Structures are given as structure tokens and as C-alpha cells.
Amino acid sequence: MRFGLTCLLLLSGALAFGSSYEKYTALTGTDSGALSSKAMVLGEWADRLERGGTQLPKMLRPRLSAGTFKVGSHKLLDGYARELLLREQEPQKLGRASFVNRPTSSVGEQVNLTQVYRSGDDLAVGTSLILGRHWQHDVDLQFSNPRAPNYVRITAANATFRPALLQVDGVFGGMLGVSAQPAFKMSEGFLQAGDEVTIQYRNLSLPTVNTDEFTLPLWLDLGDGHLLEVPVEMATVPAGAAARLVVRAPSIVAPNEAFTLSVRAEDEFGNLSTGQLPSLDVLVDGVFSQRTAAGQGANLVLEGFRFGDEGIHLFEIRSGGGGLVGQSNPIVVERSGAQVRWLGLHHRSSDSSGLQERLKLTNELQGLYDQFWIADQVDYGSSHGNRQVMRPMQKGGSYLDLDDGAGLVALPEVSTDARVIRPNLLAIHTGAGSHEWFLDHFAEKGFRVGVAATDTSYSSRTLNERPATGVFLKAGQTLQAALSERQTFATTGSRGLLQMSLNEVFMGGRAPIDERREITGRIIADRFIDRIELVKNGEVIEIDRPARETRESSLRVTLFSESRPTVAGFDLPRNAREWLGYLRIEGASISGLSAPGFDMRRDSAIAINPKVPDRIDFFTHTHGNHSSFEVSLADGQTLEGATVELAIREGFEDVDYLPVTRAPSNTPGFQLRESMDQVLGPGVERSVSIDGYVDVVALSAGSERSLMESDFRFVDVDDDLPGDYYYIRVIFADDHMMWSSPIYIGGLDAEAP
């Protein structure tokens, strides 16, 4: 029997007609310089094919743009050379995978799907079919339990397949790490051209992002280790029904200044919802104002609002039955002439590594920001003006290059190298992970940077609210000027207002050297404030807890893990870690549970055990940030004399990143028993050492928080030196955070290289 596809790839030199393949094979060296030359030839070849309409392998360009190729990389490049030859001369021999039944359910739902691969040529024993999923489609495909979620199996009339797991990276594996994907190796029989292989997906969880480009990727490995990307059919996964309203208004307006409200109806995952809206009631400071007409789409703009007097106001939008509710950001009415602009600095489309095509993504972002940027990775061939530059860390790392004055934005996950790039802004929160270490890494070297936050990251974890960057514009100041002066603050979700000054120098600036530093400012938020922390040179030196009243009838548990790399600026960050455990209270009865910090994460769960009512079971993740919950005791009971037992089960760190100096680790299990008398005093804080990192479990008495706005003032006269830097960190009762840009003492701004 003839196995033509295999022969084509093994004997491809004989099939090249004075082609790019012939030019490629003429380069015979395997040193770094020769490999770079081979990569250049492949890049030129790929450009020519793409101009002619040939579909390229998704990961070809990112792999070619690596810049530096290690010894042994010739196998990778040779594999792509053979694949490009195949795509150029006989693309039909790759075959094609199509849906038997397209998904009809919406985002996040479980479905049964069947995909059929029709072989384009004869395939022999030893050929493997590898399945995958988009890295943002965060499911673990498995072949061991047909009743469990995301089960897959492969069948064919004339062939038998043996399943195994294969580590896959890239768009259909892990962007900075790897994921284990099912690989089915043909152990008996054969496939002829036109034969069908049936791929069944059972209880498959659909992605939580709505897209018209949903795929279930498929590769062929003919035994040489190179994964040939098979053309697959795309399908649409629509958004779900409206589950909540998101209301946006200007943060600062002048008295009698007209302004508009943006109202977005979102499904439970934050997509613009499907269907038409019912009529909505508009309340201003709790008082009914007007009602919208029913039958409108998911993105409304309400006009004609104004306030005559100075003050702070909130809008609430709700459906008639109260099923849909949304609260606006606080609106400050004052005569300062100042403004706040909300920016979405980083979003990726399917032109590179995103799930949504550019037009759909643009539509999805409407109503969330005053301005946003879609910045695709240039190593995927994106030709748009705004871009994410993705380089190895030894060549400068990753950063955003944006127009409209945003300039260069340093990114923490493949850390921007300050010796190569001089950014205006620094993303200290991305996706669900906080990277405050990144700010310290730049600021301690004297670089003046402003803080930023984005909802895009290389971790598949997300928050239920979108992180954003706030820019404070003084009266008459342009957005470009404010960005140039680093007048920014970053938030994990709150659209509150944060201002900070040091000796009358505004955040982002440099203050003259003075032994007495007076730090003042204000926070006006859309949720209760837990504490305001003054950070100096990376260390908290003072804490303000506005209007916080300790409650001896409740217990607060806080979990924290680090995200910094083992070598900041030279390796990838630590991954998120899981916390799976339970809490029991002896000597008191549990009557209630509050866990807004768990609600902010989509992958957390907590509940009072229905069979053991004095026990709370929980599961959450942290990544450079906190996750907390509060337990209330029965009426008349206090923590005094009781004992708390907290048990954490052995778990894992994610594998979204694969650092060189310290691989993702197991997290050890442990158990604590503490007297509540100690908790009522200074509280209890226990450090947990994990392979070079220190995570923290803290127990304290609960508290009643009653303020969503507060002025603050700190004075520092201790050990003050030129080069010090200060910033404000706000932690809210629901674990969301907000940071000001630092103020630097003395020094000069470094010039760009």
C-alpha cells in the first residue's frame, strides 16, 4: 500500500521545483547563525504563500520570530519547511475536519459534539492524531472517564488508536507554558485517502468568550515529531442571556455639565448578552428618575443627565422585577475642571492569540472604556498600528507600543527589560494576577513609570470585573499630556477615583528632596474600603482603616500568594496557586458566610457544608493577591473561648508559565488550630514556605466597613533618602485593589537608549 503523505514529507526534496524548499535545503549548518538564516527563508516563503491565499500554521510566525535558535532547533524548522511545501503543492493531502453537529448552546454550557476527520492521503500505523483547544478555552480534555466533563474518543472503521497525553504549547496549548492534550496513535490498521475518523466530545464545556471562530484543533504527527495543522471547520458560540448590567458614567463632571450613561447588559461571563432588554428603571441616588423603553439591544446610551450642585452621586439601573441590576461608578460633581479617562490598554484579537475576530472584539468593548486599544502580537504577522511586541527576555521582553499618547507599556509576564525599553506605563495587574513586584523592579532603579492594569494576560484565569487604567487629567490637560506625566492609577475592577500627592507633587511626578514627606489624597469608590496602605520602597509603612469597626462575632480568613519571579526581570513570574480546604469552629455555631472576594473570581467556590454545619468548604486561587471570606457566629456568640481549625489540602500551582529558574510546584497541605482569643488580639498570621516562596494565611476578627470614600494623610520623616518612592495601595472589602502611580524623591528621568 502507498502511504503518499508520508512519502511526500520524507522525499520532499525531490518534489521541489527550484522552489523555496530548495533554497532552504541549501542551508546546511545547524549553528545559531545558520538556523536564523533558515528561519528567514521560511519567513519569506510564508509571506509569499500567504499573499497567494494559503492558510499558514497558526504557530509558524511566532516560532520563526523567536530570534535566537538553540542547538537542535533545526528539527523544528525542517518540519515547518516540509509542511510549507505540502501546503504549497498538495494542501488537500492534509485532509479536513468538520463538525457533524455544530454547537447550538451558548458560552460556558456543556455539549456533545462530533467531529469527522477525512484523511487527505494514506496514513500508516504510527501516525498520531492530536487534539487541542484554544488556550483561552480553559478545559482539560481527557479520555479516561466517559462520564466526566470534556471526554474525548476516536474511532475509525479500519484503524485502532491508542490514547496518550502530549504536552502542547502555543495558541492551542499554553502561551507561556504547556498543556497536556490527548494524542491518539494508530496502533493497528490503516487509513486510505477519503477514510473517516470520528472524534467524539462528550460533556464538553464551551468557551466562556463568545466567538464566531470556535474551533477544535487537530494535528497529524506522521512519526517525525512535527505536528501538521489540519484545516478545521469553525463554528459560532453565542453569548448567553442577560445576567447583569454594567453602568458607566464620567468620574468627574462640572455643575450643570450634560453627560451620558452607558448601560451594558452582560451574560454571566461578561459578554454582551443576546436578546432584547426589558424596560429599565433609572434611579439617581436611590430616587426613581426615568424608565427606558423595552426591546432595545444590549448596549444602551442614555443622554441628558446633569447635576446642579457639587457632590457625589450614584446611578442604579434595574429591570422591573429586579432580575437585572447595575450600579454606576461614583460621579463627582465639582468645579475643578479635572477629568478621569478610563483606558483598556491591551486586547488581542484572533489575528494573533485571541478568541474573537477584530470586529466582534471592537463591538464587545464598547461601553467599557473611554478609549481602548486592540494590540495584537506582531509575531503573528499582525500589520495594525497598535501592537504587542513579543521578544525573548534576553532581547527586551514583551511590551505594548500604542498610539494616541499611550506610548510604551511594560508587561510583567515576559518582563520588559528596562535596559532596552523605557516605558511610560507599567502593567502591575493583568487578567486575574497582580504583579506589584514589577513596579518595585522598575521604581527601585529610579525609572519613573505610571501604573496600569489590563484584563488581558497569558493566564486563562479571569475576574468577574474588568481591570482598567484610570488617567487623571488636570484642568485643561490633554490625555497625552497626562499620560506623559504618568498621572495614572490602576484597578482590578473598581471604577472609583484615586488621587495622591506628596508635598503637593501629584502622583507620577518627582518631588524635591525633603526630609519631611506629607502624603495626602482621596479615594471615592463604588464599594466599601477595607484599608488604605502607604507603600515606601516596596514596603507598607502605614495603614489607614477608615470607619472600620471590629466585630467579635465574626472571623475573617485571608489567603495570599506571591507572583514575583525568582529573579525579577530575568524569568517568568510564579504561577497562581490553588487553595482547597475547610474551616471549622469549635465552641461556637456558624450562622452565616460572606465571601465577596470569592465572587470576584470565576474559578472559586465556598459553602457551609450541608452535612457538617460547623464546617465551611472552599476552593480558590490567588496570584499576587488576596482571597478572603468572613464567617458570622450565631446571635449572642463571640469568638472568645472558641477554637478554629483550618486545613489546606495538598494542591498545585498552575502551569500557565514555565519559568527557567523554578518550575511550577506542588503546594503542601497543612493544618492550623488556633485559639480565638489570639485572633481577637493582634490576629494570627502564618507563613507557608513553598520552594522559595512564602504564602500567607491570616485570621482576624471580622469588621463592619461603612465608607466608600475617604481622604487620607500620612507623614513620613523616618530614614528618608533621595531615591525613595511612595505609592498608595487601596484594598477593598471584596479583595479588589487599586494603586496610585508612585511619586519619586529627587533624581532625573532616564533617557531612552
In this prediction, residue 214 carries a pLDDT of: 96
Residue 640 pLDDT level (bands cut at 50, 70, 90): confident
| Res. 13: pLDDT tops 50 | no
Among 92-96, 388-392, 413-417, 633-637, the minimum mean pLDDT is found in: 388-392
Report the candidate in 124, 91, 94, 130 with the shortest Cα–Cα distance to residue 192. Answer: 124
Per-residue pLDDT averaged across 210-214, rounded?
A: 96
Per-residue pLDDT averaged across 287-293, rounded?
A: 95
Residue 72 pLDDT level (bands cut at 50, 70, 90): confident
Chain CA centroid to CA 724, Å: 31
| Res. 10: pLDDT tops 90 | no
| Res. 103: pLDDT tops 50 | yes
| Res. 178: pLDDT tops 80 | yes
In this prediction, residue 570 carries a pLDDT of: 84
Per-residue pLDDT averaged across 104-116, rounded?
A: 96
Among 136-145, 165-174, 415-424, the minimum mean pLDDT is found in: 415-424
Residues contacting 392, CB < 8 A, separation 6+: 66, 67, 68, 414
Average pLDDT taken over every residue of the chain: 91
In this prediction, residue 196 carries a pLDDT of: 98
Alpha carbon separation from 535 to 329, 609, 685 (Å, rounded): 26, 39, 20
In this prediction, residue 68 carries a pLDDT of: 62
CB-based contact 524:489 (threshold 8 Å):
no
Decide: helix, strand or coil at residue 486.
coil
Residue 690 pLDDT level (bands cut at 50, 70, 90): very high
| Res. 18: pLDDT tops 90 | no
Compare 101 and 683 and report the one with higher pLDDT: 101
In this prediction, residue 416 carries a pLDDT of: 86
| Res. 3: pLDDT tops 70 | no
In this prediction, residue 751 carries a pLDDT of: 59
Per-residue pLDDT averaged across 592-601, rounded?
A: 88
Spatial distance between the Cα atoms of 615 and 589, rounded to a whole number of angstroms: 10
Residue 5 pLDDT level (bands cut at 50, 70, 90): low
- Which residue segments constitute the domains of the chain, with CATH numbers given? 4-91 (no CATH), 95-237 (2.60.40), 246-334 (2.60.40.10), 341-545+710-745 (2.60.40.10), 548-705 (2.60.40)
Per residue in 514-535, pLDDT (tens digit) is 989 999 999 999 999 999 999 9
DSSP-derived pairing of the beta strands 743-745 and 510-511: parallel
In this prediction, residue 750 carries a pLDDT of: 65
| Res. 358: pLDDT tops 90 | yes
Decide: helix, strand or coil at residue 482.
helix
| Res. 1: pLDDT tops 50 | no
Residue 382 pLDDT level (bands cut at 50, 70, 90): low
Per residue in 458-490, pLDDT (tens digit) is 988 889 899 999 999 999 999 999 999 999 999
Residue 678 pLDDT level (bands cut at 50, 70, 90): confident
Q: What pTM, to 2 d.p., does this model score?
A: 0.93
In this prediction, residue 703 carries a pLDDT of: 82
Residue 384: Cβ within 10 Å count:
14
Per-residue pLDDT averaged across 329-356, rounded?
A: 95
Spatial distance between the Cα atoms of 495 and 492, rounded to a whole number of angstroms: 9
| Res. 132: pLDDT tops 50 | yes
